[in-house]
Amino acid sequence: DDKIIASLKTTKWDGRLEEVYPDVYLDGAHNIPAMEALMRNIQYIFKDKKITILFSALKDKEIAKMLEEITKYNYDIVLQKRKYR
């Protein structure tokens, strides 16, 4: 069990809570279960930090439901709507 725990602590998964700059993280949560997991992880890992979420999603995703999940938490949220041709 100790080896498994130690291995999990050093496991990296690109695009999953990936630190790209100091205190700047990216996550590719693209569906409701992934968003729920992300929000639980943020709350657990960064519980004592001020959090700002920059949210972006493709139009074929369940955007309203994902935003509903985010707004359950008291974080600042930045949204940007762009229209691509």
* φ, ψ of residue 76 in degrees (nearest 5): -70, 140
Tell me what pLDDT residue 62 has. 92
- % pLDDT > 90, the chain: 39
Q: In terms of C-beta distances under 8 Å and separation of at least 24 residues, what long-range contacts does 55-58 make, across chains too?
A: 55/79, 56/80, 57/30, 58/30
Predicted confidence (pLDDT) at residue 84 exceeds the cutoff of 70 = no
**Over the stretch 2-23, which tens digit does the pLDDT of each residue have?**
999 888 888 777 778 888 889 8
This prediction's pTM: 0.74
Token representation of residue 27: 């996550």
Query: Which residues share a beta bridge with 25?
Result: 19
